[in-house]
Structure 1
């Protein structure tokens, strides 16, 4: 059978499988195609309607889970990690960013104008890199769709914030995006239409922390997993049994009405999977009869739990994978933040002393670069790995190269000058009265330029001050 899977960057992956192939075989093919190792957070979605999806059961045959011969699926985030910083690889965080951008664009993850502009600026930094007026022009944010009916005011604010970022790598921009997105109230919530026992329309949301109840877009109740003793369904009704509090003596049961039997069963399965993934240490614990599961059902979550996934991630031993970003198609590597810092530092030094030094991407291993730039340092030697890329020219100081004609006193003076340049590069003036934007953008962030009296200063003035100090 011919299968098509739409990926998170909207590209299409096609493959041909045996008609008896199970979901696990297709899922592994997609993850191998994406070079993704931390795959337990993701899943394959079957779309019955444009707004109604069902997660593919990887233990069952694919053909038994679809209607007719429609073998079109999507690759999506299934379990949203509560702390994305604990993910081991940049590529995992990047695909999570793509999913969240889809959630925002499609209205599943509402956020304020301030947060939307901030997230958009990090998305621009991730896709386009640092702002370059000769390359990007004046209206480059139009191509970055963050919301339906995106306004020019939003695009201007995204570009204004993006232009303040300095030496922020794509991987660091992704992490900053996730650190702000995870604070949103609807982050990682799987929504299901329902009614309460009085027939009032509500929405039930399942997430890492428990079961939420929403009415008119406001959360009216919350049932954390530790307080839930059991979830079950009967016909089109869904029930949860709540653990009694210290002042109560009996367990309480709460019921909800779903549109039909299939919807009730789907909600029950989503609850079982989220509870097992986020609360249990291993999926084998869910194979034995438990009070949490409904009696008579054979369904059990068969994948790895978050605890097992984190343990497996800590054992990943491979170089940071190269991958292409959807807009700019630029190669990303987890070490590019350190490389950007070194390039900027060396460019500052070159303001005082101008000799052209040719560095190719073969030398782009931070430890190797430091040993070449600072022969007096005692960094451990590591063999550099060869990366394909363009040759980069940056100005390099004569004082940073060994010169037998210089006296020992002159060499020490030059080394002191370099140390001062490093220290002044990392210094920033604290802001006495941070604005709303500065509160959202960490004032201690090394990616911000220096600020004076609450106003961001352009990079040119910062470099000029460093140049004067060095000379």
Structure 2
């Protein structure tokens, strides 16, 4: 039996990188290789997603053996944004903003981040400026090369053509900032969605973010927000079989249910949703992640899962220090979206 796990990771720019790790490696080993290859310092916003042998989409746990999470190959992963900053100004590194903006584009194209036609045109104007640079061209034919603008109405194309001219002088890095600033104002920005049922058995979506847990009904992209439970009101989050349980803290002068229960499609889906709650709360609300599970804390449950990365506060502190010390960003390669679907391979193979 081979001592090596040959892993393939699809990056947000459309390239695939290969990394070999020892079969006894935990998830963090592979994560570190990918972060190093991409030149990421603010790596805690990102993760590796995979589909298990039961077709469940999951995040790679950095503390567990890879082969325990994927029972048998192939070991294929997708590099994705896992945690979205509440304010894009919290990001200090150009490479972080670049990959974050690529994820925003993907979310919009897959209708997971709906926006108006005008907002779409504004985003496209920044994308085109970032890829082509300054332009005074009146013929929109060159926009056919941009995947983001496939099957877009002519009136939107006309808007993008004019916006591209107005964006003259903006660098690719400045365009990334503009994309993130605009998209952070969208209603569904930064939400990690999970299918669920309410107490009456009606299908709903739970959206987990740094602000708390939101409840939606309807189907993408037409969602209606029903409720929102900020973390400050959540006393604890538990799961039992297929039940996700939010235990709410009482508010003086108002009456609330002691527990709010959501039914998830499966036990695995329920646990993954619970994990998302743990990670979002720990990253956005904690000063530092817990060193070991505590049965008396916010997320008391028998599982040994815990958030092991840096918190947002820690990243902000480190970013401010690096800025004062004028630490330069690591160099990284930008790949035009026009080449994203060319299946280029990056042959950076390492063995640990």
Structure 2 residue 105 is the aligned partner of structure 1 residue 96:
no
Q: Specify the SS of the correspondent of 1:188.
A: coil
Q: How many residues align?
A: 327
Task: Give the structure 1 partner of residue 345 of structure 2.
Answer: none
Deviations 1:361-416 (A, max 9, x none): xxxxxxxxxxxxxxxxxxxxxxxxxxxxxxxxxxxxxxxxxxxxxxxxxxxxxxxx
Please give the alpha-carbon distance, in whole angstroms, between the structure 1 residues aligned to 2:190 and 2:40: 20
2:289 corresponding residue in structure 1:
283
Q: Work out the CA distance in 2 between the residues paired with 1:243 and 1:153.
A: 50
Query: 1:286-339: CA deviations, max 9, x gaps?
Result: 74443411332322111111111222223335323333322189xxxxxxxxxx
Hey, what does 2:253 align to over in structure 1?
247
Determine the C-alpha separation between the residues in 2 that align with 1:318 and 1:98: 24
Q: How far is 1:119 from its partner?
A: 0.6
Residue number in structure 1 paired with 2:330: 321
1:233–1:294 contact (8 Å) kept in structure 2? no
Distance 1:148 1:279, change over 3 A: farther
The higher relative CO (CA closer than 8 Å, separation ≥ 6) is in 2
Matches within 5 A, 1:260-275: 260-275=266-281
SS at match of 1:36: coil
SS at match of 2:179: helix
Q: Distance in 1 between matches of 2:155 and 2:55?
A: 30
Q: Deviations over 1:132-156 (max 9, x none)?
A: 53xx953222222336732232222
Q: Residue 75 of structure 1: which of 54, 72, 79 is its match? A: 79
The whole-number CA distance in structure 2 between the counterparts of 1:122 and 1:50 is 40
Alpha carbons 1:106, 1:148 under 8 Å: kept: no
Secondary structure of the structure 1 residue equivalent to 2:268: helix
Corresponding position of 2:22: 18
CA RMSD of aligned residues (A): 2.2
Aligned to 1:42: 46
C-alpha deviation, 1:49, in angstroms: 8.9
The TM-score normalised by the length of structure 1 is 0.66
Q: Distance in 2 between matches of 1:79 and 1:110?
A: 18
- Separation in 2, partners of 1:147, 1:328: 11
* Pairing 1:155-166 to 2, within 5 Å after superposition: 155-166=157-168
Corresponding residue number in structure 2 for 1:379? none
Aligned to 2:148: 146
For residues 104-143 of structure 1, the C-alpha deviation after alignment (integer angstroms, 9 at most, x for no partner) is 011111111011010110111111111153xx95322222
Q: 1:225 aligns with which of 231, 238, 251?
A: 231
Q: CA shift at 1:251, angstroms?
A: 6.2
Alpha carbons of structure 1 residues 186 and 49: separation in structure 2 relative to 1, 3 Å: farther
| Equivalent in the alignment of 2:189 | 187
**Greater gyration radius:** 1
Q: Secondary structure at the match of 1:315?
A: helix
Q: SS where residue 284 of structure 1 aligns? A: coil
